[in-house]
Structure 1
Amino acid sequence: MGTEPSARSRDGYTVGALVCVNSFGSVKVPGTGQYWAAPFERDGEFGGLGGAPGPLGDIEDWGEAKFNPGLRTHTTLAIIATDAALTPDQARRVAIMAQDGMARAIRPVHTPFDGDVVFVASTGRSALPDPAPLSLAGLGSLAADCLARAIARGVHHAGMTKP
């Protein structure tokens, strides 16, 4: 699959992410042009600025985090879509796991200034095996990776950050 923020599992399920980012936190490593989500980048989709970020200097340096925000005035809204048929409980589990993608791409995330949320939608095209926990874990992990990529990719293509 090209460089869209999607992936196909070994089981043959497709997972994709769409996101609207107005986070309090920063998507770039302070003092660099590198995205926090750099390890998940495919084919230079968000600038090819390097692999894993190096060691942090000041762990409380959030880079381009916004100053003087009001409570819940920033948010990252995401939807994960899959062709795997999911029950409501399974969709909730994928959403919980997908939230880790926000933590891989935004620092800090889920602050009192954010109203971050992840929704999950399913086409119901492909049934999960019974029992499903291992396949469900794989879907959730892919969803988190896709969401991290979608965040960095969207911000990169919007041209909204400075190095």
Structure 2
Amino acid sequence: MDNEFMGSITDVAGLLAGHFTDPRRPTGCTVVLAPEGAVAGVDVRGAAPGTRETDLLSPANTVDRVHAVLLTGGSAFGLDAAGGVMRWLEARGIGVPVGPVRVPIVPAAVLFDLLVGDASVRPDAAAGHAACEAASAAAPAEGNVGAGAGATVGKIFGGAYAMKGGIGSASLSVAGVTVGAIVACNALGDVLDPDTGRLVAGARTEDGLRLRDSRRALLRGELPAALLAGTNTTIGIVATDAPLTKAQAQRLAAVSHDGLARSINPVHTPSDGDTMFALATGRAPRSPGMMLLCALAAEATALAVLRAVRAAESLTLDGLRLPAARDIAA
């Protein structure tokens, strides 16, 4: 399979995607809109998550459809951007009818990018609204945009040896259904090609010119740098046009973490808040079964991570140098 020609999450019928990238520093947010509503699930594996409206996605809870999912930079401050998404949806009459109003349901997750540039600049409600204004059915841009604008990878041995992360998307269509993913990769660990196991981006060697291979370095006894909890995090959305229940959507979100594990090492660490959402628009006439959908979800997620770092561009800001995958030899 040629990873370079995969599609994007907007290949899933019923979804739109848009970015806002802040011109003042590398940060931003990314929204996936489901104007007709989508069954949703979530699975949080990292130990330091920043999320909103995740409890209501439990199959035991009442609300069964969401209208958007937001991925954002800015750490917990960035959750403000979800308010702008709600305002955009409300203005178009989209939401759960509650008496005289419609309440849009907008789960969200954040990544930490506050050490890249001026930390006082982070996504807010205006940023979320702007991401909705930019949303379309076209394939979303990848790399240093939206929630991936300030993303970095390979920080396990210190930020001085890190590289530029980003946001990527991919999709696969089999048996009459499509599964797509979009992932903002801000991982503590390294990124690998899931097909070959080859390192693509991550912690660099002391001279900064090559990849260190964090897994092997740790096994040799090299100790990680002192790390602050929550200063990393990979967040994403996996989606399908197959009809699913809430319990099945939750399972799809859980299995998408297998894709993170195939493409990021180490993953789900105490310093990451790794969170994956799942959406099901139900536009396809039938489901081919959860076995196939789960396999596609893990694959699309892994490919989206790979594309995030392959699309990333190097960044130098305030003395911090973050080379991109294309600049460093494995």
Q: With structure 2 as the length reference, what TM-score do the two structures score?
A: 0.37
Asked if the contact 1:24–1:69 (Cα under 8 Å) also holds between the matched residues in 2, the reply is no
Q: 1:150 maps to what in 2?
A: 304
**Secondary structure of the structure 1 residue equivalent to 2:255:** helix
Q: How does 1:1-163 map to 2 (within 5 A)?
A: 2-4=5-7, 5-9=170-174, 11-27=175-191, 36-39=192-195, 51-53=196-198, 59-61=215-217, 67-128=225-286, 135-159=289-313, 160-161=324-325, 162-163=328-329
For 1:67 and 1:17, locate their aligned partners in 2 and report how far apart those are by CA, in whole Å. Answer: 31
Question: Which structure ranks higher in relative contact order (CA pairs < 8 Å, sequence separation ≥ 6)?
Answer: 1
Aligned partners of 1:6 and 1:100: how far apart in 2? 16
The alpha carbon displacement at 1:73 in A equals 1.4
Q: Is the 8 A contact 1:105 1:152 kept in 2?
A: yes
Q: Cα offset for 1:127?
A: 4.6
- Structure 1 runs (4+) deviating above 4 angstroms are none
Across the aligned residues of Structure 1 and Structure 2, the Cα RMSD in angstroms comes to 2.5
Q: Give the counterpart letter for 2:217 in structure 1.
A: D
Deviation, 1:116, is 0.2
Quote the offset at 1:83 in angstroms.
Answer: 0.2
More strand by share: 2
Structure 2 CA distance for aligned equivalents of residues 96 and 138 of structure 1: 14
Q: CA deviation at 1:53?
A: 3.8
Q: How many residues align?
A: 134
Percent of pairs with identical residues: 38
Gaps of 5+ in 1: 28-35, 40-50
